[in-house]
């Protein structure tokens, strides 16, 4: 790597709105604040909700439910 052309790579503190905090390295100069992280995101926690708009999920399950059930 050429000297003098790359940004400085420093240790920064990352904090989430849920209270989780950790340290990582970044070219960003200051600390990072997140609204959502892997500790509180519904996809990773398993508390994911499906929003049924106008019965679309029910209609899909009636139409294709036999194929996808085991």
More confident residue, 56 or 5: 5
Structure tokens at 62: 């009636």
The yes-or-no verdict on residue 64 having pLDDT over 60 is yes
Query: Do the Cβ atoms of 28 and 47 come closer than 8 Å?
Result: no
The yes-or-no verdict on residue 6 having pLDDT over 80 is yes
Q: What is the pTM of this model?
A: 0.54
Sketch out the chain's domains with CATH numbers.
10-68 (4.10.80.400)
CB atoms within 10 A of CB 42: 10
Altogether, the residues listed in the chain come to a count of: 70
């Amino acid at each position: 790597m050429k000297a003098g052309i790359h940004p400085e790579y420093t240790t920064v503190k990352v904090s989430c709105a849920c209270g989780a905090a950790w340290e990582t390295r970044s070219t960003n100069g200051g600390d990072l604040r997140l609204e959502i992280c892997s500790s509180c995101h519904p996809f990773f926690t398993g508390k994911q909700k499906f929003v049924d708009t106008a019965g679309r999920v029910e209609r899909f399950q009636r139409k294709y439910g036999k194929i996808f059930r085991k």
